[in-house]
Structure formats: C-alpha cells, structure tokens
Amino acid sequence: MMRAVIDTNVLISALIQPQGVVGLVVRHLRDGDFTILYSEAMLAELAGALGRPRIKQKYGLTDDDIKDVLKLIWLRGEAVEPAQTIQVCRDPKDDKFLETAVAASADCIVTGDADLLVLHPFQSIPILPPGDFLRQLNPS
C-alpha cells in the first residue's frame, strides 16, 4: 500500500472543498487506499490552523469537523518520529514534511505548495500535486 506524507494545505483544502480534487485525497484516505504518514509537528500545525477562529467561521468548521479529520489521520496513519533535521525548503515551516517523508521512506509527498513542489524529487521521494497523486493511486 502506498505511504504518503500529505501537506497540511491539502488536508485543510479538502475540508473546505470536499468536492474538489483535494477532497478525493481525503476520500481515498477514509477508504483505506493509502497510509498517511505524520509527525507530531504536522498534527500540531493542522490542529492549530483548523482551530483558528477566523478559519472556523469563514468555512463553517466545527470542533467535530476538526476532531474527525484528526481521528481519520490516527486511524489510517502511521506516526513518524523524524530522525534528522532538514533545512532546505524556501519556507522553513515546510521542512517538517521532508523530515517526515525521509524518516519513513515515504512513497511520496502530496502538496500544492510551490516551495515544496520545486524540490521534486527530494532524496528520491516524489513531491506531487494532488491530481498526480490520485493518478498514481488509481492508474487507469
């Protein structure tokens, strides 16, 4: 089964626009089609971003919505303890995704973030936009 690091922006976008391409990523996660790899730093960023009052109000997110996505990650995911510090990304906050992917020997990193996409591939790990990831999950 494919093991992927999913950037926070993809997960947030999927909650906000469940009908879009990013929504399909979460639907495949819910269906158990891949394993999401995550670190404590990634979960903290996700919970913090989703918990911002401005975000919750603007998109109508409830505490239950936030708990549900975190439970899904715990249920379908694999916790990773990054073994090394990586400092290569233009946005230092994105290095945690690289650290998690390298520590877990991930099959890919899924992101819409140009600061990560420009590094494709990173240490032989593909960095893919959500649409490319979905095509790999479901090759026709």
- Mean pLDDT score, 71-97: 97
**DSSP-assigned beta bridge partners for residue 36:** 4, 77
Local structure of 3: helix, strand or coil: strand
What is the band of 91 on the pLDDT scale with cuts at 50, 70, 90? very high
Identify the pLDDT of residue 140.
66
d(CA 19, CA 40): 28
> Mean per-residue pLDDT for 80-98?
97
111-127 pLDDT, tens per residue? Answer: 999 999 999 999 999 99
> pLDDT band at 20, cuts 50/70/90?
confident
- Residue 60 CA, chain-centre distance (Å), reads 21
Whether the CB-CB separation of 25 and 110 falls below 8 Å is answered with: yes
pLDDT of residue 138: 82
Q: What is the mean pLDDT of the chain?
A: 95
Q: What is the pTM of this model?
A: 0.95
Average pLDDT over residues 25-53: 96
Q: Which domains does the chain have, with CATH numbers?
A: 3-137 (3.40.50.1010)
